[in-house]
Chain A
Amino acid sequence: GAVVSQHPSWVICKSGTSVKIECRSLDFQATTMFWYRQFPKQSLMLMATSNEGSKATYEQGVEKDKFLINHASLTLSTLTVTSAHPEDSSFYICSARAPVQGADTQYFGPGTRLTVL
């Protein structure tokens, strides 16, 4: 149980284009999902918290107009990188919060490797 999927697993795009990444909780409902980015050999940096039916909460320093997050249902959140540039190339990972016996646990997707040329 508690499986989270991401699509696509990798994407290459040209500078200036937009890319959408999907995050799905497959066997549970997630009122909250999180989006992280990870640079090589580094830890995960939280970008935003996505709550179903409301606006995402962005971490300090993350451009909300560049990284659009939509959480339209209890099983799907999307991250759109708008007007992507080479510096946006990174590994993007989502997680879904699954309350279990009072202890919230995040289950992570497999990640999406974005390369912007």
Chain B
Amino acid sequence: AQSVTQLGSHVSVSEGALVLLRCNYSSSVPPYLFWYVQYPNQGLQLLLKYTSAATLVKGINGFEAEFKKSETSFHLTKPSAHMSDAAEYFCAVSDIFGQGGKLIFGQGTELSVKP
């Protein structure tokens, strides 16, 4: 079975500071990993995805994530936070072999950005 754990339900940073959102996964097969962002009362937007190619994945809006198999982690980072980054972020894992592409989501992390 697959699972995702996001450490910290709420993260607060100052504008211009580093953003670090933590995600650890559990999977018995090679995983595909995703980060999605959700703004209030909206659906989810794909930020980036890891698909067993490069371990450092660059996404939209200046975000990137690094897949570390030894640590079973896929943390999301952004060097400099912007006010518009305030949103809910979800990490998700997919098992392409046995689940038909079903996504397992973490609990979500709410990012607040202070001026």
Contact = CB atoms under 8 A, between A and B. Distances in A.
Contacts of B44: 44, 93, 95, 108
Contact of B100 (A44, A49, A103, A108): A49
Interface in B30-82: 32, 34, 36, 41-46, 49, 51
A46 interface: yes
A16 to B, nearest CB: 26
B46 A46 contact: no
Closest 10 CB pairs of A and B: A103-B51, A108-B43, A104-B101, A108-B44, A110-B43, A111-B43, A43-B105, A97-B101, A43-B108, A43-B107
Interface of B: 32, 34, 36, 41-46, 49, 51, 90, 94, 96, 100-103, 105-108
Given A44-B90, A46-B102, A111-B42, A105 B108 contact: no
A32 B108 contact: no
Contacts of A49: 100, 102
Contacts of B45: 108
A58 interface: no
B103 A106 contact: yes
Contacts of B94: 104
Nearest to A102: B51
